[in-house]
Structure 1
Amino acid sequence: MKKLYRSRSNRMLGGVLGGLAEYSGIDASLLRVLFALAFILGVGTLGLVYIIWIFVVPNREDVI
Structure 2
Amino acid sequence: MNSKFYKMRRNRMISGVLAGLSDKWNFDVTLVRFLFAIFTIANFGVGVIIYVILASILPIKEDIEEEMYGTGPRKRKEAQAIEENDGWFW
TM-score if structure 2 supplies the norm length?
Answer: 0.64
Moved over 6 A (4+): none
* SS of structure 1 residue aligned to 2:11: coil
Amino acid at match of 1:4: F
Of structures 1 and 2, the larger Rg is shown by 2
Aligned to 2:12: 11
What is the number of equivalent residue pairs in this alignment?
64
Cα displacement (A) at 1:45:
1.6
Structure 1 gap segments, 5+ residues each: none
Shift of 1:41: 1.8
Structure 2 unmatched ranges of 5 or more: 68-90
Superposed CA RMSD: 1.3
CA shift, 1:43, in A, is 4.6
Q: TM-score, normalised by structure 1?
A: 0.87
1:10-58 alpha-carbon deviations (Å, 9 max, x no partner): 1011100000000011111000001001111225221111001011101
2-side partners of 1:11 and 1:28: how far apart?
Answer: 9
Higher relative contact order (CA 8 A, sep 6+): 1
